[in-house]
Amino acid sequence: MATRLKPVDVVTVGVGLTGTILAKELAESGLKVVGLERGAWRDTQSDFAMPYAHDELRYARRHELMQDLSRETLTFRNSTNDLALPMRYMGSFLPGEGVGGAAVHWNGVTWRFLPWDFETRSRTLARYGASQLAEDCTSQDWGVTYDELEPHFDRFEYLYGICGKAGNLKGKVQDGGNPFEGPRARDYPNPPMKTSHVGAIYAKAAKELGYHPFPAPSANMTRPYTNPYGVTLGACVYCGYCERFGCEMGAKASPQTTVLPVLMKNPNYELRTLSRVIKVNLDSDKKRAVSVTYVDSRGREFEQPADLILLTSYVFSNVRLMLLSGIGKAYDPAANTGVVGRNYAYQTNGNVTAFFEDKVFNQFMGAGALSMMIDDLDGDNFDHTGLGFIGGGWIGAASSGARPIDFHPVPQGTPRWGSEWKKQVSRYYNRAFGINTHGACQSYRGNYLDLDPTYRDAYGLPLLRMTFDFRPNEYKMSEHLTKKAAEIAKAAGATKMSVTPRTGKYSIVPYQSTHNTGGVAMGADRATSAVNKYLQSWDVHNVFVVGASAFPQNGGYNPTGTVGALTFHALDAIKSKYLKQPGPLA
């Protein structure tokens, strides 16, 4: 039986990217805020120190910074024809755990979704007509526009010190930046990253083919930077141990390097780690949340009452908690009713590996977001007439560090092991690089999240069940993008290449991306969304669900920048409207 605690003003469920920003701002405005985090405290000096931080086996293969699946995982199946089975090992995606969440181990690529992304459905219908959309496609407009979010993108970029070159300043296209981006009020807070050898080769070839290459906007600092909260980040040293690792230099923007130093000093804030929230409790009308129940490190149950409850965990945890707590109607794909669990999407990645005989790349040098990009084939940046798909993605060549357990490319046809394999590995380790096509993923009626009927977590609660597969739209898009990437590789002088667009059933085994989106979709219409444009639950007005769980479908970009903007947008509404007059904001 849970011990009831003294009420506080705000609880954040999860202390990661979104939870720390919201906590900092709300605690500063005088509210008592409690952050509940299922994992442990982690910090740069105590946990990401050299030399142990640079251990590929430990962090990239054994996933030390990531979710403890023995406590909780999810089950997966491609379609309702299959039996969902537990994801027993990390694979396709890598949810985080512990203070800072996945923003500790991310690579730092930070975009603003395109204006088109926010109005995918209406713009597609307007430009191409209904026939361009698959019949079962549930992609929809977000209920908020790029322009509404612009000042919040700006705020997030300055908080996280994003390094880049503006491509569109107040409507004027700038050289060296992304000409396709939505207009921004001002440039990035920090200059873009250096160009690696691979980046230079890629840029040259892309330009020759008429594309517009630019450096990826990066959360790996190009110089020491003090952000608006007064927290200072170090400069990146291009060590090549970024994604999946903590940064020993404090140069990767994360809650640790941007927010926590000030948040932890605020007496209005209390952090409780090793505390797992198992339920949000509602009043008898089910219109207001009264408290959360959590289990602490000693197995004791507590009930923490609060006026405002912010679900600021990873996508899966947000969705699951909504389902376990009965907030909003659970999605039923057969009846096509309900909203929680609906519009789950992912990322559609393809790849070209380019091999060279006469060049050496030193790809063990790099940074998580060190990448040369083109955006010409993203969103609706090109005419899709007659192509049979919508959406697109960036195509880029990254130098994010070539660690040998995971990176040892060999030309197609090389045996998987043995003498010949060894020869090719030795020859091409430093003579190959990948060009990635990072494609969008629309939402479909049959792709969704719900609760598993069989498998449970360590606390006895049902696991989240994922039903997902790509659709013809995604395969066609990936084929198109990957073909274009192969052309760039050829123009760059690759002597051999492996071209692998996304094909076949979606598998949870090989790593692809930790860009899981949706499940608590935002929108203007209650019938097809679980939260409004401020990420406030339509059903329970004092619950906000903050994260990529709000995306109605996924675009071609990495999601974090947009998650940051949505967070500030929601924060604004909470501070200026909700706190003054608690109730539905839309």
Partner 1 sequence: MSESKGRREFLKSAAALGAAVPVGAAAQTKSEHAQHGTHPAPKAAAAQSRPYMFLSQAEVAFLDAAVSHLIPKDELGPGAKEAGVTYFIDQQLFGGYGSMAKKYTQGPWPEGTPQQGYQSPLTPSGVYRAGIQDTNKYCQKTYGKTFDQLARAQQDEVLKGLDGGKIELEQVRSQFFFNMMLNNTIEGFFADPVYGGNRDKAGWKLVGFPGVAAVYTTFIEKHGVPYKAQPVSIADITGRLAKVDEHGHPIHVMIHDDKAGA
The whole-angstrom separation of Cα 410 and Cα 426 is 9
* DSSP track, 372-412: EEE-TTSTTSS--TTTS----EEEEEEEE---TTT-----T
Nearer CB in complex with partner 1: 29/500: 500
Nearer CB in complex with partner 1: 1/417: 417
- Alpha helices (runs of H) in 79-228, residue ranges in sequence order: 115-118, 120-128, 146-159, 197-208
- Output the smallest distance, CB 430 to partner 1, in A: 4
One-letter amino acid of 114: L
Three-class SS of residue 40?
coil
The whole-angstrom separation of Cα 449 and Cα 452 is 9
- Output the smallest distance, CB 344 to partner 1, in A: 16
The whole-angstrom separation of Cα 310 and Cα 544 is 5
- Output the smallest distance, CB 394 to partner 1, in A: 21
Burial group, residue 418, by CB count within 10 angstroms (0-12, 13-18, 19+): exposed
Task: Kindly report the number of other CB atoms within 10 A of residue 430's CB atom.
Answer: 15
Q: Which of 105, 480, 515, 541 is catalytic?
A: 515
Contacts of 321 (CB under 8 A, 6+ apart): 13, 277, 279, 280, 311, 313
DSSP letter for 59, please. I
Say how many Å lie between the first and final Cα of the chain, rounded.
37
Q: Are 449 and 516 contacting, i.e. CB atoms less than 8 angstroms apart? A: no
Residues in the chain: 586
- Output the smallest distance, CB 250 to partner 1, in A: 10
Nearer CB in complex with partner 1: 185/237: 237
Beta strand 301-311 with 8-13 is parallel
- Output the smallest distance, CB 301 to partner 1, in A: 22
- Alpha helices (runs of H) in 197-282, residue ranges in sequence order: 197-208, 255-258, 260-263
Task: Kindly report the number of other CB atoms within 10 A of residue 299's CB atom.
Answer: 7
Least Cα distance to 107 among 202, 178, 12, 193 occurs for 193
In whole angstroms, what separates CA 290 from the centre of its chain? Answer: 30
The beta strands (E) that lie in 381-538 are given as 393-400, 432-439, 448-456, 462-467, 496-500
- Output the smallest distance, CB 397 to partner 1, in A: 13
The whole-angstrom separation of Cα 343 and Cα 345 is 6
Cross-strand bridge partners of residue 37: none
One-letter amino acid of 382: F
541 catalytic per annotation: no
Rounded to the nearest 10 degrees, what angle do helices 472-491 and 197-208 cross at?
A: 100
Instruction: Return the active site residues.
Output: 515
